[in-house]
Structure 1
Amino acid sequence: MSAMKNILTKQLANWIVIEMKLRTYHWHVRGPQFFTLHAKFEELYGEAAGHIDELAERLLALGDNAVLSLAETLRNASVQESGGKESSEQMVAAIANDFSLLIEELRVGQSYAESLGDITSADLLQDIAAGLEKHVWMLNAYLGVPAQSAIRLASSAGE
């Protein structure tokens, strides 16, 4: 398996897990922030579905296969499934942390794609990372985490 395929497969797997996690949170969020978070999680799982399609199609365009099973997805993902018992704040923190981890992985993948001259993959990964940076800032603002800490969190997620 080529390194570029590994990078794209990992991201595809991550987004499949995150989409399911966001759907679970959307269905199970409770409390005073229900309406806000219910809508936000729906927005984010819709966005995740778009990333899943883009990443799978990029793999296919490169002559590779997309992940073929849920078992393969879970083997390749670096993010974890939802435990199902999180409070609304824990849900937001989990998504912010997942997105921070993905930013780090996407930046590594972008750099590698650029070194290969694969500008299409590099641009795809960069676009996803840029959107996630804004989401991490907003999710951490919701949690009351200062912006500087949110940036540190995103940049140290891969350490």
Structure 2
Amino acid sequence: MNITEQLNRQIANFQVLNFKLHHYHWRVSGPHFFTLHAKFEEWYDRAAAYTDDLAERVLALQGEPPVTLQQCLGLASLKEAAGGETAEQMVRTLAEDVSILISELKETAAEADEAGDRPTADMLTDFQTELEKDAWMLRAFLA
């Protein structure tokens, strides 16, 4: 898979994550409602920004980003929300998703670096840094 294809997989992942976070934002309930409702909104805003940055990078590399939900679902490593999750299940699922994203971003950044594409590698490393902080927060919530 070339760098553009790998970036498109991440666009798809962040689109799926964006939908999942909206779903969780609207459906979360229980004693952690106020905390998680606000956090899910913060994260879906960031997922949308990452999607835009990735798509613009793909275009800069003369590629074509995925533009339909069907394309994104076919490319993504992440799965849609199942529906009916408890707040704890939502957080557990997001922790798993963030782990997948970190791993894939790290792999793609290394390949971009090897190919001499520092702008892509730097962008993905920045995303990874933010997601590693999110992973820590999710683990702390579940502890």
- Tell whether the structures are fold-level matches, with TM greater than 0.5: yes
Following TM superposition, by how much is the alpha carbon of 1:141 offset from its aligned partner in structure 2, in angstroms?
Answer: 0.1
Residues 76-109 of structure 1, C-alpha deviations (whole Å, 9 max, x = no match): 0000000011000000011111001110000100
Corresponding position of 1:78? 77
CA shift for structure 1 position 69: 1.2
Number of aligned residue pairs: give it: 143
Partner of 2:3: 4
Which 4+ runs in 1 deviate beyond 2 A?
none
1:96 is matched with which residue? Answer: 95
One-letter amino acid of the structure 2 residue matched with residue 10 of structure 1: R
The percentage of counterpart residues that share the same residue type is 47
Secondary structure of 1:102's partner? Answer: helix
TM-score (structure 1 length as normaliser): 0.88
Quote how far apart the aligned CAs of 1:68 are.
2.1
Paired with 2:16 and 2:69, the residues of 1 have a C-alpha distance of 9
Instruction: Show structure 2 runs of 5+ residues with no match.
Output: none
Equivalent AA in structure 2 for residue 92 of structure 1: V
For the residues of structure 1 that align with 2:99 and 2:2, how far apart are their CA atoms? 22
**Counterpart residue number, 1:131:** 130
Please, what TM-score do these two structures have when normalized by structure 2? 0.98
Match of 2:24 in 1: 25
Q: Distance in 2 between matches of 1:43 and 1:71?
A: 25
Q: Deviations over 1:106-132 (max 9, x none)?
A: 010000000100000001110101100
Structure 1 CA distance for aligned equivalents of residues 101 and 24 of structure 2: 19
Q: CA RMSD in A?
A: 0.7
Matched residue SS, 1:85? coil
Q: Residue 116 of structure 2 corresponds to which residue in structure 1?
A: 117
